[in-house]
Amino acid sequence: MPEGDTIFRAARTLHRVFAGKVVTRFESVFPALNRVAEDSPIVGRTIESAASRGKHLLMAFSGDLLLRTHMRMNGSWHVYPAGARWRRPLRDMRVLIGTADAVAVGFSIPVAEFIERGDLSRHEILQSLGPDLLDPAFDRAEAARRIRSKSADAIGDVLLDQRVVAGIGNVFKSEILFLAGVNPFAPATSIADQDVERILDIAFEQLHANVLTRQQALSVAVGRRTTRSLDPGAKLWVYGRGGKPCRRCGIPVASRAAGLDARLTYWCPRCQTLG
C-alpha cells in the first residue's frame, strides 16, 4: 500500500537511475499524456529529477515540464535495465519512460498528468497539501495547527487528510497512534497540545526510519516496519493484527472500518486511551 515512505523510496530510485539521462522512449495509455507528448515530444528531453511530495511523485524534464503521478492503492513504479523482462504484464502498464540503458514503468497508476513548471504554484491539489513529513523543511508547528483546525473529526481520519499533513496512509495511521497511546476515534479537539506534538514527532520518526537505505539502517531487513524488530513476523504493532494479542499488553487488537473509504483501523483498547 503506497504511503509517503513508498513514494519517497520510488522517487529516490528513479532519481538515482534517470537524473541527467535523455528520454529515448515514451509510452502511455493516458490520452491526456499522449496529447502533450504529441505537441511537445517527451523523447529527446533530459530527465532532471524525481522527487516525492507527500504521496505524489514528480518527475521533472527539461523544458520546464513535470510528470505528476499518484499511486492510490495499487500503483507502483518499476525500474528495469533496457531489454529486461518485466515482472508484471504489459496490460498493467500505464506510463513508460525509457533511456538508452534503463526503463521506468508505471504499473496500475490511476493518476498521471503533465504540468508546466509555471503552473505548479497554481496546482490545486499540490498546493493544498499539508506539511510533508519527509521534507527536510517539515513544519511541525503548521502541521499541529492544521490538526487542531479539524477539531470535530476523529484523529485517525485527520492524519489521513493530506491537506493536514502529507505522507501518512492507513498503515502508518494505526501504527503512529498506537505508539502515541491515542485512541484513533477520539476527536482532534480532545487531544492535548503536547500529545498532538508527540503524534507528529512519532510520525516524523517512523516515516524517516522507513526510508533509510540498508547501509544507513545497518540491516539487511527490508519492508515497512515500525517495531524496530528484525523478526520478519513482527514488523508492525497493530496494523493487520485484528484479534491477535497486542505486542505490549496481550489483549486482542481491535479493528473497525472507518472514514469515507471504510478503511480498517487497528488499535489496542488498553494501550490507546488518550483523547
Question: In which band, very low, low, confident or very high, does the pLDDT at 180 lie, cut at 50, 70 and 90?
Answer: very high
Q: How many CB atoms lie within 10 A of CB 74?
A: 12
Q: Which neighbouring-strand residues pair with 114?
A: 67
Q: Which structural domain, as residue segments, surrounds residue 14?
A: 4-127
Question: In which band, very low, low, confident or very high, does the pLDDT at 218 lie, cut at 50, 70 and 90?
Answer: very low
Residue 127 has pLDDT above 80, yes or no: yes
Q: Domain total for the chain?
A: 2
- Give the pLDDT confidence of 117-126 residue by residue, as tens digits: 999 999 999 9
**Across 144-148, 150-154, 183-187, least confident range:** 150-154
- Give the pLDDT confidence of 54-91 residue by residue, as tens digits: 999 999 999 999 999 999 989 999 999 999 999 999 99
pTM to 2 decimal places: 0.93
42 plus 20 within the same structural domain: yes
Residues with a catalytic annotation lie at 2-3, 55, 263
57 plus 110 within the same structural domain: yes
73 plus 153 within the same structural domain: no
Three-state secondary structure readout of the chain:
CCCHHHHHHHHHHHHHHHCCCECCEEEECCHHHHHHHHHCCCCCCEEEEEEEECCEEEEEECCCEEEEEECCCCCEEEEEECCCCCCCCHHHEEEEEECCCEEEEEECCCEEEEEEHHHHHHCHHHHCCCCECCCCCCCHHHHHHHHHHCCCCEHHHHHHCCCCCECCCHHHHHHHHHHHCECCCCEHHHCCHHHHHHHHHHHHHHHHHCCCCHHHHCCCCCCCCCCCCCCCCCCCCCCCCCCCECCCCCCECEEEEECCCCEEEEECCCCCCEC
Q: Distance (Å, rounded) from C-alpha 169 to C-alpha 269?
A: 21
CATH number of the CATH domain containing 98: 3.20.190.10
Sign of the alpha-carbon torsion through 128, 203, 56, 88: negative
CATH number of the CATH domain containing 213: 1.10.8.50
- Give the pLDDT confidence of 8-60 residue by residue, as tens digits: 999 999 999 999 999 999 999 999 999 999 999 999 999 999 999 999 999 99
Counting Cα atoms < 13 Å in the Cβ hemisphere of 216 gives 7
Q: Is residue 172 part of a domain?
A: yes
54 plus 148 within the same structural domain: no
